[in-house]
Structure 1
Amino acid sequence: MDVSSYQINQFYFLGTTVIIIIQILLIVFLLFNMIRRKKAEKEATEIKNNLQESYQELEATHSQLIASEQELHKQFLEIQQNREALRISRERYRLATEGAYDGIWDWDFITDTIFISSRGKEMLGFSKQQKLFAYEDFFNKIYKEDQNIMSEALAQHLYQEIPYFEVEQRMEIDGGVYQWFSIRGKAIFDKNGDPLRMAGSITNIHEHKQAEAIIEHMAYYDSLTGLPNRTFFSINLAKVLEENKKAGDWVAVFFVDIDNFKTVNDSIGHSFGDELLQQVAKLLKPFAQEDFCARLGGDEFVLILPKIQSKEEIEQVAKNILTSFEEPFCLDQREFFISVSIGIAVAPQDGEDGEILLKNADAAMYNAKQAGKNTYRRYDEFLHLQILKKIEMENDLRKAIEGEEFELYYQPQVDLKDTNSISVEALIRWNHPTKGMIPPGEFIELAEETGLIVPIGKWVLEEACKQMKQWKEQQVGIQYIAVNLSPRQFQDRHLIDTIEKMLQAYNLKSSDLEFEITETVAMEDIEYTIKMLQILKEMGFKISLDDFGTGYSSMNYLKKLPIDSVKIDRSFLTDVMDGDEGQRSIIQAVITLSHANDLTVVAEGVETKEQLDFLRKEHCDKAQGYFFSRPLPAEELEVIVKKYPFTK
């Protein structure tokens, strides 16, 4: 029993121990599982976190790959575009070099070779097969006198002194034939300022240069005679004056004018007149150095004689020129004897400025004309005073226009068949504020020369229209007013328009006015004269040819000119009364031929009863002169017209 209890106790103890051990093992197992589970959870968490991070990294990498792919695609497209642009550029360059009218060149300084386009090689005569050239190949083509120009311009550009290389030079094109080329280019440089490459164009400008030369010749030379013109003469004179001023030498200017050239020109025609000018030019040219003999225009020539030492030398040249004109000129298979008048001004005595010197020589030439022509005159102090007086009068004339110092006087023209029929001629007078009344003979020529005659003539026309309107309203009995048209006024392109405006302004008819032109004006340009007179005739105006017989016109012109009357100059009538039978015959012929052409004849300068009786006997139509009345202001003339007929 005891054994059994003991055994039972041992068995119980053993069982308990086993249970405890099992429990301990179980607890250990559980703890181990827990620890392993915790570790596994920790590892799982770590793996999860690692996976998350890896995912994010993968996602970022994916985004980067996508971005890289897009960038690569963009770069690929850009490369494709650049390749296309490069292809187009190369094609454009090829087309430009092959199709351009200009040649293209490209100088590589690294290899020291020059590429020249096909067009450039063609222009310069280079072989088409050769692709690259040395600088010497190009340089040797340049005309020797132009090589320095090329070298200097190139050096300036390569030293970066000028932004572009540009030069015009002559270059050989084939077998010693040279033409003008314009070469332009620009270089690129490295950081040290050394040239790397230079490219540009070459253009054939030969035709342009030829045209320039022609234009320059036209600008500086007279087309008819080939002599220098006024512009070139002025340039040469200025240079000579400057050079001789330093050397202390004299410079003489000869102003040469052909005597009676207009007469010869009108008698033989303008084409032969031009031929005469050409012959005169050849005759004068040897008297001066090259380009020192010039034609100013018309029949005016000038010579520059530098380094003059004495008055005798000047006079000898003038005499030699006059002598050279003693031989006749052959024109239209006829011989003409021509003379010239010479005016001489010497620097520095007569002026140090070219313009003043020429003006003084011109004045001296007119003095030679007044001395009888075919002679020469030096400019002197007396002439200078005359010029000053002329300048003063010109200034006074300008003031007179502004100050309304002019007055119109009127002289009757009496119909010899009906002495109650009266017309009048308007004659201008200048009432100077300090010099008193100045007759037209003292200022009309100057007004014509300066162009002031145009505004003066316009004033005369308007004043005459204003007076005619007043006389018509007052029924004074004046048929019409004769108004003189000066040479410049007759050439004025606004003349017809001015006349029409005057008629409208004063409500006049064309029959209220008659226009007088001198024989000289009529003959100056016969075609223009006929055209203008025809217009005036169609407008209804009467036309009178003044001073007939004093010029160089032929009776044949009476048939051509659309005129109504001729006025015999007073000088013929004076000579007739002095017993000049030749002048008597001229008056008789003028009256007869005029009547044959249905023209009225008006005699000027009738001062005596004997003159009037002679004119009536010869059937002259009208007369004008002091026998009837001197020129009077309008108010005084009205009194005479109303007082009695002009038979007394």
Structure 2
Amino acid sequence: MSSMSRRSIFIQRVTQLLEKYRGEGTVYLFSVDFAEFKLINYIYGFAQGDELLQDVVDFVQGLPECIYCERAASDQFIFLVTTKTPWSDDEIIAFYNEWSEAFLRKYRDDYPACKLKFWCGIYQLENGDVVSAIENANLARIKARQIKATTAVLFKNSLMEDLVRERQRERDIMCAVKEGKFFFYLQPQVDLQSGEIIGAEALARGIGENGEVLSPDSFVSILENNHGIVDLDLLILELVCQNMRQRLDCGKPVVRTSVNLSRQHIWNNNAAKILDGIVKKYQIPHELIMFELTESILITEFSSAKLLGDNLRELGYATSIDDFGSGYAGIDVWRRLSFDELKLDKKFMDDDPERKKRDEIIARGLIWIANKMDTTVICEGVESAEQCRDLRDMNCRYAQGYFFSKPVPPDEFYENYTNLKG
């Protein structure tokens, strides 16, 4: 059954129930989905994922207050709860917390590799407008996901006002990409044995309304949700190549620069050719550009990510796996994927005594494997001389982080590079 047909049937059924319970109590509409359902499918398989979805329906339908439950789409559920007297906000939240924790407690041990968690939005139905009720509950659920709420979010009119402001900000960010109102900073990558700067990572920055520098936290998620992140990646690559071409034409030094690629590139079979076309446009030697794919892409879309990586390497570019250790890709990456560089996630630089010893054992093992496979390892997030010493003791030769330099404009980066003679 199509999602449209399912939605129509649901609206019809809910409308009938509202007529039945009209005047007999208060009805609340819950919109719920899992936080990381793609990860559940990836690790445990689609069959077990479908079984978990059915478990949710069975569990919710067993609640005395529930009068109807429907799987709306994918891992999203919509269900109705009725009470003889209206609940306060605290009572609604308490009801959600009780049933959700009971479900998660029952099934959590069956999925130890994942952190089972719901996002939930709730709307009190005040009339027969079921379509608006669903939209309002969904809006509250989306808000719960955005703020990573630890409990359900109740719909308030202020959410609609927030949505209007967010949509305006999204439009502003999308226009800024089209108008090229972005630039890049460079952060050095350093050889821990010689102290030499051996490369840099290009990091996108935006320009705010008042001319202030905007960090990725303020625009990346917006661009990802609106499919504008690919345009930003291509813009940053073009700016990097422009800067390199200008320096090369003036006989100035350049270092190999890593450029980040979002997951949305893997949906385009011509992505590698498009990226290569920009580099060729400026006649930049391929060895001066490295492309970074984040580890999270490998978790849910391994085959497509592998194809993009292989295509780039066939064109003569080095590839890097960014944020390695932040997710669950694990050893399978080594078996199935060819890449040139591994960037250890900054979590391995945790100074907490309880975690440091365990992290060091894991990091040492990863570095040993990488060295055996002739893969370069760079550790991110280095902030102290002690961490540098620890990395050298683990045979990790390269590092990146604020201990050496924060991300800076290209001119400042190369001025430092020249003054330090590399």
Q: TM-score normalised to the size of structure 1? A: 0.57
Per the alignment, residue 206 of structure 2 pairs with: 430
Per the alignment, residue 145 of structure 2 pairs with: 366
Per the alignment, residue 344 of structure 1 pairs with: 122
Do the aligned partners of residues 403 and 585 (structure 1) sit closer, same or farther apart at CA in structure 2, a change above 3 Å counting? same
Q: How does 1:302-317 map to 2 (within 5 A)?
A: 302-305=78-81, 309-311=85-87, 314-315=92-93
Q: What CA deviation, in whole Å up to 9, does each residue of 1:266-300 have, x standing for no partner?
A: 2222332233333333333455545x512322x22
Structure 1 residue 551, shift from structure 2 partner: 1.0
Per the alignment, residue 73 of structure 2 pairs with: 296
Q: Could you tell me which amino acid in structure 2 is paired with residue 401 of structure 1?
A: V
Structure 1 residue 608, shift from structure 2 partner: 2.2
Do the aligned partners of residues 329 and 416 (structure 1) sit closer, same or farther apart at CA in structure 2, a change above 3 Å counting? closer
Per the alignment, residue 243 of structure 2 pairs with: 467
Per the alignment, residue 455 of structure 1 pairs with: 231
CA distance in 2, matches of 1:460, 1:492: 18
Q: Could you tell me which amino acid in structure 2 is paired with residue 293 of structure 1?
A: E
Q: Is the contact between residue 476 and residue 642 of structure 1 (CA under 8 Å) also seen in structure 2? A: no
Q: Could you tell me which amino acid in structure 1 is paired with residue 121 of structure 2?
A: G
Work out whether 1:415 is the aligned partner of 2:191.
yes
Q: How does 1:247-396 map to 2 (within 5 A)?
A: 251-286=27-62, 288-289=66-67, 292-297=69-74, 299-305=75-81, 309-311=85-87, 314-315=92-93, 318=96, 319-328=98-107, 338-348=116-126, 353-354=132-133, 356-366=135-145, 369-371=148-150, 375-380=151-156, 386-396=162-172
Q: Is the contact between residue 465 and residue 506 of structure 1 (CA under 8 Å) also seen in structure 2? A: yes
Identity over aligned pairs, percent: 25
Q: What CA deviation, in whole Å up to 9, does each residue of 1:10-68 have, x standing for no partner?
A: xxxxxxxxxxxxxxxxxxxxxxxxxxxxxxxxxxxxxxxxxxxxxxxxxxxxxxxxxxx
- Determine which of 346, 350, 354 is the counterpart of 1:570: 346
CA distance in 2, matches of 1:529, 1:281: 34
Work out whether 1:644 is the aligned partner of 2:420.
yes
Work out whether 1:484 is the aligned partner of 2:263.
no
Q: Could you tell me which amino acid in structure 1 is paired with residue 380 of structure 2?
A: E
Do the aligned partners of residues 595 and 356 (structure 1) sit closer, same or farther apart at CA in structure 2, a change above 3 Å counting? same
Structure 1 residue 436, shift from structure 2 partner: 1.8
- Determine which of 404, 415, 419 is the counterpart of 2:180: 404
CA distance in 2, matches of 1:231, 1:465: 51
Q: Could you tell me which amino acid in structure 1 is paired with residue 404 of structure 2?
A: F
Match of 1:283, SS?
A: helix
Work out whether 1:505 is the aligned partner of 2:284.
no
Do the aligned partners of residues 399 and 338 (structure 1) sit closer, same or farther apart at CA in structure 2, a change above 3 Å counting? closer
Q: Is the contact between residue 3 and residue 73 of structure 2 (CA under 8 Å) also seen in structure 1? A: no
Match of 2:105, SS?
A: coil
CA distance in 2, matches of 1:574, 1:337: 21
Q: Is the contact between residue 413 and residue 425 of structure 1 (CA under 8 Å) also seen in structure 2? A: yes
Work out whether 1:534 is the aligned partner of 2:313.
no
Do the aligned partners of residues 449 and 265 (structure 1) sit closer, same or farther apart at CA in structure 2, a change above 3 Å counting? same
Q: Could you tell me which amino acid in structure 1 is paired with residue 139 of structure 2?
A: N
Q: Could you tell me which amino acid in structure 1 is paired with residue 283 of structure 2?
A: N
Q: Could you tell me which amino acid in structure 1 is paired with residue 338 of structure 2?
A: P
Do the aligned partners of residues 335 and 578 (structure 1) sit closer, same or farther apart at CA in structure 2, a change above 3 Å counting? closer
Higher relative contact order (CA 8 A, sep 6+): 2
Per the alignment, residue 370 of structure 2 pairs with: 594
Do the aligned partners of residues 389 and 589 (structure 1) sit closer, same or farther apart at CA in structure 2, a change above 3 Å counting? farther
Structure 1 residue 565, shift from structure 2 partner: 1.4
Q: Could you tell me which amino acid in structure 1 is paired with residue 262 of structure 2?
A: S
Per the alignment, residue 623 of structure 1 pairs with: 399
Do the aligned partners of residues 336 and 401 (structure 1) sit closer, same or farther apart at CA in structure 2, a change above 3 Å counting? closer
Q: What CA deviation, in whole Å up to 9, does each residue of 1:357-388 have, x standing for no partner?
A: 143232343268432xxx43323467556545
Q: Is the contact between residue 330 and residue 336 of structure 1 (CA under 8 Å) also seen in structure 2? A: no
Do the aligned partners of residues 473 and 278 (structure 1) sit closer, same or farther apart at CA in structure 2, a change above 3 Å counting? farther
CA distance in 1, matches of 2:135, 2:407: 41
Q: Is the contact between residue 199 and residue 255 of structure 2 (CA under 8 Å) also seen in structure 1? A: yes
Q: What is the Cα-based RMSD across aligned positions, in Å? A: 3.6
- Determine which of 359, 372, 385 is the counterpart of 1:609: 385
CA distance in 1, matches of 2:201, 2:409: 12
Q: Could you tell me which amino acid in structure 1 is paired with residue 230 of structure 2?
A: V
Q: How does 1:136-151 map to 2 (within 5 A)?
A: none
Structure 1 residue 467, shift from structure 2 partner: 2.2
Structure 1 residue 457, shift from structure 2 partner: 1.9
CA distance in 2, matches of 1:484, 1:341: 29
Structure 1 residue 505, shift from structure 2 partner: 1.6
Unmatched tracts of structure 2, length 5 or more: none
Q: Is the contact between residue 422 and residue 478 of structure 1 (CA under 8 Å) also seen in structure 2? A: no
CA distance in 2, matches of 1:538, 1:423: 22
Do the aligned partners of residues 386 and 394 (structure 1) sit closer, same or farther apart at CA in structure 2, a change above 3 Å counting? same
CA distance in 1, matches of 2:95, 2:355: 45
Q: Is the contact between residue 31 and residue 134 of structure 2 (CA under 8 Å) also seen in structure 1? A: no
Q: Is the contact between residue 410 and residue 426 of structure 1 (CA under 8 Å) also seen in structure 2? A: yes
Aligned structure 1 segments of 4 or more residues deviating by more than 6 angstroms: 244-249, 329-332, 334-337, 349-352, 576-579
Of the structure 1 ranges 505-514 and 574-583, higher mean CA displacement relative to structure 2 is found in 574-583
Q: Is the contact between residue 141 and residue 153 of structure 2 (CA under 8 Å) also seen in structure 1? A: no
Structure 1 residue 516, shift from structure 2 partner: 1.0
Do the aligned partners of residues 403 and 321 (structure 1) sit closer, same or farther apart at CA in structure 2, a change above 3 Å counting? same
Q: What CA deviation, in whole Å up to 9, does each residue of 1:118-174 have, x standing for no partner?
A: xxxxxxxxxxxxxxxxxxxxxxxxxxxxxxxxxxxxxxxxxxxxxxxxxxxxxxxxx
Question: Which one has a bigger Cα radius of gyration?
Answer: 1
Structure 1 residue 588, shift from structure 2 partner: 1.5
CA distance in 2, matches of 1:316, 1:628: 49
